[in-house]
Amino acid sequence: MITVVGLLCGIYHSEMGRIGVAIDIYSKMNAHMILLLFLPALIFESAFNSDWHIFKVEFAQILIMAGPMLLCSTILSALMMKYILGYTGEFTFEACLLYGSIISATDPVAVVALLKELGASRRLATLIEGESLLNDGTAMVVFLVILDIVEGTPITVAEIAVKFIRLSIGGPILGVLGGMALSFMLKRIHNNGVLEVNATIFTSYIVFFIAESTPVHVSGILAIVFLGLYMTNTGKTRISAESEHSVHHVWSYIGFIAETVIFIMTGIIMGQRAIDPESTIVAADYAKLIGTYVILHFIRFGLIVLWWPILRRIGYGLNFKQVVLCAYAGLRGAVGMSLALMVAASDKIPRYI
């Protein structure tokens, strides 16, 4: 519904006076700024509120779902775009792979919230949420590697491998170092909710900024994931008992605001593209959207079934009913939208309006 509101604002912004002018300005915000403003809030809030004890037992399952499964999903989604939906010509196979990396980033916020509300297994909710956390980081790494190729940046196979390793390993290391620094600060603050909240916010954003800066350039999402996991395991005990509720309440609200704004902005940009007089979008493209939605669920279900013999023997196991639920719980959300906005903002990629 939030995206629909943004879509209507994007279509009718020229008739909304000063509000329409403001909408037009914000829709042209740099995509990297969007990532810096909203992703640390979304990722840290989710990781910080996860159950570490369940997470570490399910880590092997989460690693399979966020690693090999994501890479397979990226390739199968690219094959879907090229050979089933028929996007060829200027829409190269590299562009299809870029789309696959974007669409493979899951964001089951609503699903996890519903599972908690219904009193479903905490283990299942943690598995779905944990997959999303590492999945987002892995998808971002794959996305950045393929983005260089699509933008035409000269890069060798060896350079691709080095970049992939640097992004995927450097991010977790930076996140753990950030968690240690934050724990050190919190240990020296006693019963001061304002300072403790500000310390967590400041650290998450500065870690993401350092990770994404040119000299370091590691995965900012993975850095935030491991910062949040470190805090939920070790650093949480450094927060004063009187301030713990305030810290979690503030972060829940920050996460809600960040996700809301991303969905609105995405809707606005889609609305503006839809009414662009130079748009090449036709009715067949909208029909293909519906087909894409259906096929993506079959791809995810097939991959989970493929890995099910392993998934049911590690962690807490996985029965077939949970397999079906996990297949549908892989909804796409804010992270995928943020990556799509980066593509839309790139002046090195042809504008497929």
The domain that contains 217 carries what CATH number? 1.20.1530
Residue 152 lies in a domain: yes
Residues with Cβ within 8 Å of 177's Cβ and at least 6 positions away in sequence, in order, are: none
Q: Which residues of 166-185 are buried (b: 16+ CB within 10 A; e: fewer)?
A: ebbebbbebbbbbbebbbeb
- Each residue of 255-312: pLDDT tens digit? 888 878 878 888 888 888 778 777 777 888 888 988 998 999 999 999 999 999 999 9
Find the Cα–Cα–Cα–Cα dihedral 127, 128, 132, 133, rounded to 10°. -40
Q: How many separate domains does the chain show?
A: 1
Whole-angstrom Cα Rg for the chain: 20
Please tell me the predicted confidence (pLDDT) of residue 190. Answer: 80
Structure pTM? 0.85
Predicted local distance difference test score (pLDDT) of residue 74: 92
Please give the Cα distance from 61 to 314 (Å, whole number): 7
Which domain range does residue 171 map to? 2-345
Cβ neighbours of residue 340 closer than 8 Å, sequence gap 6 or more: 102, 266
3-class secondary structure, 188: coil
Is residue 353 in a domain?
Answer: no
Low-confidence ranges of the chain (pLDDT < 50): 353
Q: What is the separation of C-alpha 336 from the centre of its chain, rounded to a whole number of angstroms?
A: 6
pLDDT at position 351 is 64
Within the chain, residue ranges assigned H as helices are: 2-12, 17-27, 31-48, 52-57, 59-66, 68-79, 93-103, 109-117, 122-150, 157-187, 193-212, 220-233, 241-274, 283-311, 320-329, 334-345
Residue 351 lies in a domain: no
324: Cβ contacts below 8 Å, ≥ 6 apart: 301
Within-domain flag for 156: yes
Residue 167 confidence (pLDDT)? 85
Is residue 128 included in any domain, yes or no? yes
Examine residue 87 and state whether it is found in any structural domain, yes or no.
yes
Measured distance CA(319)–CA(15) in Å, rounded? 53
Domain membership of residue 12 (yes or no) is yes
Residue 352: the pLDDT is 53
Q: Domain for residue 17, yes or no?
A: yes
Quick: pLDDT tens for 313-324. 998 888 898 898
